[in-house]
Amino acid sequence: MQGARPMIEDVLGEGVYIDAARKRKMEDVPALVETLEEEGHLAPVVVIHLGSNRPFEALVFDQVMESLIAHQVERIIFVNVHRPIGWEFYVNKQFTEGLARWPQAELIDWEAMAHSEQGWFIKDRTHLSYDGSEAYVGAIKEKLNTIP
C-alpha cells in the first residue's frame, strides 16, 4: 500500500487518509486504531493490507476486528497477501478463517488477482510496478464501490 499511495490518492481523491508504514505488523493495528481515532483520521470504512512482513494468529485478527468495531467502523476490508515467502499460504488462510468468523469483514483477494501477473511486480516479486499499482488501486476502488 505504501508504494501505491500516490496513485491511491489520485484515484480515490482527497477524502482518503492513508497510514502506511514499512514493516508494520497486524499486531500493531489495535494501537494504531486508537491513534487514528484520537487524531480524527479513523473513518467508517477501513482498508487493511498487512501480513506480508510476518504471519499473525487468529487471536490477532480478532483483536483487530474488535478494535475497529468498538470504534464504529462500519466496513473493514482486508487485502490478502501475494508474496513469494513461506508464510503466504498461512496468512491468507488466517484471512479466510477470520472472514468466516466476522461477517463485518470483507476481502480483496489480491493473491488470486496477482498470482499470474508477473508484470505487476518489480524484480523482488512483491513490490508493485506501475501496472501493478494500477491493478491494486483498481481492486480497492472496485471493492469500495461494491455494496456489501
- Domain boundaries of the chain, sorted by first residue: 5-144
Are the CB atoms for 9 and 16 separated by under 8 Å?
yes
Task: Name the superfamily (CATH) of residues 5-144.
Answer: SGNH hydrolase (3.40.50.1110)
Cell 486508537: give the residue: 34
- Give the best-scoring range by mean pLDDT among 8-12, 73-77, 122-126: 73-77
- What pTM did the predictor assign? 0.93
Q: How many other C-beta atoms can be found within 10 angstroms of the C-beta atom of residue 94?
A: 22
Q: In percent, how much of the chain has pLDDT > 70?
A: 100
**Residues whose CB falls within 8 Å of the CB of residue 48, separated by 6 or more in sequence, listed in order:** 29, 64, 76, 77, 78, 79
Residue 143 has pLDDT above 80, yes or no: yes
Instruction: Please state, in angstroms and rounded to a whole number, the distance separating the CA atoms of residues 57 and 63.
Output: 10
Instruction: Please state, in angstroms and rounded to a whole number, the distance separating the CA atoms of residues 93 and 9.
Output: 30
Instruction: Please state, in angstroms and rounded to a whole number, the distance separating the CA atoms of residues 9 and 81.
Output: 22
Task: State in Å, rounded, how far the first CA of the chain is from the last one.
Answer: 22
- Computed over every residue of the chain, the mean pLDDT equals 93
Of 12, 95, 18, residue with least CA distance to 58: 95
Residue 148 has pLDDT above 80, yes or no: no
